[in-house]
Chains A and B, each alone.
Chain A
Amino acid sequence: MHGFANPARFLGIAKPLTPWLAWGGLLLIVIGAIAGLYFSPADYLQGQSVRILYVHVPAAWLGMGGWTGLAIASLMQFVWRHPLSGIAARAIALPGALFTALCLATGSIWGRPTWGTWWEWDGRMTSMLVLLFLYFGYIALANASDERGSVSRVTAIFGLVGAVNIPIINRSVVWWNSLHQRPSITLQGSSIDNAILWPLGFTTLGFTLLFGAIVLMRMRASLAEIKVDARLKRMAAS
């Protein structure tokens, strides 16, 4: 792990990896979308509207997975003080917020024809909205940091503390009565029929790879900015 904390070695891996993640992710998303729109059946109860699942579920997964990654990077920054971990956490925040917003938007669009409402304050929706606000708070704190490219310790601690919301989102439909249904995919298996489930694998993996590519690109941009800053300072001094 420490080996990858070296920015030069990181760039050596990130640079060739980025196009593979980006194009591979896009290809899987296209395959999953075509399969989800044309080759999977409609639901017995919801009809065609079930197809929004293929975007909604990956978006929810990346919104929550994003903060999990951000919290791990924050812990690494707090303990080992690697500058690269702060840069990584900061790079995750924006796409994480974007996918959380996408999850809320698709959920709202899906809720109208099925449940009969755009929005209700049940446990799942409320905790997911809190996650979006946590992302906004993190981005604001990160932008207020003086550290070049990385984030302040307060920001890292905020990233760690915000992680309590992740198990709450996950358990919200089990602990409390809610309008949102219980989890379909659990350790015991899936209550989504295989005919409907398989395109979801493509879009979930595809969006995840794309997310990885966006994070790597944002980290490389941060590192490049630091390099430019340092060079400009050297030129001004000489």
Chain B
Amino acid sequence: MKAKHQRLTLGVVALVAIIGAALLAMSALKDQAAYFYSPADVKRTRIEPGKAVRLGGMVADKSIVRQPDGVTIRFVVADGADTVPVVFKGIVPDLFKENSGVVAEGRFDAGGTFIADNILAKHDERYMPPQLEGDKHKTGKVE
């Protein structure tokens, strides 16, 4: 009976300690493990031009402008706090649209414009039939 209780205590204490340590480590990783920088992160942490990074946020309303060459687009990524202008030449995913989430891979130029090599669309956690009209379809922010 005694050995059994010892093992139970040992097992539970070890498990709690390991999970606690892992959770602490993971939540401390926060910024390092982030998949992309938001415009507010960009402003806070100075990212040197030319370094390969990902930029994520919402495509600002009425900001997508197609350039005369037909394949280059300019748009603005916003996160409610700050905005970053982006230029991209290529094909975007179907879900890339204004007021929707986006993750752009690329680098900053010296002027602070983000030169994207690749565009990924990020959607939010809501799913609904298209018949539902009104404000429910509007995405406020992307996290």
Seen from chain A, the residues whose Cβ lies within 8 Å of a Cβ on chain B are: 41-46, 50, 53, 75, 78-80, 113-117, 120-123, 160-161, 163-164, 167-168, 171, 175-179, 181-184, 191-193, 195-197
Complex Cα gap A181–B34 (Å) = 14
Q: A167-B23, A176-B35 are in contact. Are A161 and B123 (CB under 8 A)?
A: no
6 CB-based A-B contacts, threshold 8 Å: A46-B123, A75-B12, A78-B7, A78-B11, A114-B121, A121-B35
The answer, among A41, A115, A121, A161, for a CB contact under 8 Å with B130, is A41
How close is A129's CB to chain B, nearest CB, in angstroms? 14
Complex Cα gap A176–B29 (Å) = 9
Interface residues in B18-76 by Cβ distance below 8 A to A read 18-19, 22-23, 26-27, 29-30, 33-38, 56
The answer, among A75, A176, A182, for a CB contact under 8 Å with B11, is A75
Q: A167-B19, A171-B26 are in contact. Are A43 and B128 (CB under 8 A)?
A: yes
Are A114's CB and B95's CB within 8 A?
yes
Closest 3 CB pairs of A and B: A116-B93, A41-B129, A193-B128
How close is B32's CB to chain A, nearest CB, in angstroms? 9
Are A75's CB and B120's CB within 8 A?
no
Complex Cα gap A22–B127 (Å) = 30
Complex Cα gap A57–B18 (Å) = 28
Which residues in A have their C-beta under 8 angstroms from that of B121? 114-116
Which residues in B have their C-beta under 8 angstroms from that of A42? 129-130
Are A43's CB and B129's CB within 8 A?
yes
The answer, among B14, B33, B37, B103, for a CB contact under 8 Å with A123, is B33
Are A179's CB and B126's CB within 8 A?
no
Interface residues in B108-137 by Cβ distance below 8 A to A read 118-132, 137
Are B30's CB and A45's CB within 8 A?
no
How close is A204's CB to chain B, nearest CB, in angstroms? 15
The answer, among A53, A120, A176, A183, for a CB contact under 8 Å with B127, is A53
Are A115's CB and B94's CB within 8 A?
no
Which residues in B have their C-beta under 8 angstroms from that of A113? 93-94
How close is B119's CB to chain A, nearest CB, in angstroms? 7
A182 and chain B: residue at smallest CB distance: B125
Which residues in A have their C-beta under 8 angstroms from that of B127? 43, 46, 50, 53, 184, 191-193, 196-197
Complex Cα gap A160–B103 (Å) = 36
The answer, among B38, B123, B128, for a CB contact under 8 Å with A114, is B123
Is B4 in the interface zone, CB < 8 Å from A?
yes
Complex Cα gap A181–B33 (Å) = 16
Complex Cα gap A86–B11 (Å) = 16
The answer, among A161, A179, A192, for a CB contact under 8 Å with B18, is A161
Q: Which of B7, B96, B125 has the most CB of A within 10 A?
A: B125
Which residues in A have their C-beta under 8 angstroms from that of B96? 116
Complex Cα gap A41–B15 (Å) = 44
Complex Cα gap A205–B30 (Å) = 34
Complex Cα gap A179–B105 (Å) = 12
Q: A120-B35, A168-B22 are in contact. Are A45 and B123 (CB under 8 A)?
A: yes
Complex Cα gap A171–B26 (Å) = 10
Are A79's CB and B4's CB within 8 A?
yes
